[in-house]
Structure 1
């Protein structure tokens, strides 16, 4: 059986980092008295971040299929 070369799949780390940053922002918002980030800024950031995560997952889908 031939060994497949190791190929890095960036979808998992990109998704993890995005959600860790998002959780950190919400935690900072909850622990501070006021708003850490205004809602008018947070909504577009979340939507753009979800779009980037989705795009990375779609572009790297073939890598995940070959890793199995």
Structure 2
């Protein structure tokens, strides 16, 4: 018996931005862990993470409103 066709998914740019953001954050933490010294100061990293999360939220809201 053939399997039922799955509905085609739309491209979600918010997922791409989110994935790239978390890969970058993971790379920074990995580089700091492997080198034994912090790559960036915590005073820079924490605001950068919060700004990045805010930008991801804005992209998700804008792309969601376009789809509906």
TM-score, with length taken from structure 2: 0.76
Question: What are the ranges of 5 or more consecutive residues in structure 1 without an aligned counterpart?
Answer: 1-6
Q: Which residue number in structure 1 is paired with residue 63 of structure 2? A: 60
Match of 1:45 in 2: 48
Number of equivalences: 59
Query: Which has the greater radius of gyration?
Result: 2
Question: Could you tell me which residue of structure 1 aligns to residue 28 of structure 2?
Answer: 25
Q: Which runs of 5+ in 2 are unaligned?
A: 1-9
Secondary structure in structure 2 of the residue aligned to 1:37: coil
Q: TM-score, normalised by structure 1?
A: 0.76
| Structure 1 runs of 4+ with >6 Å offset | none
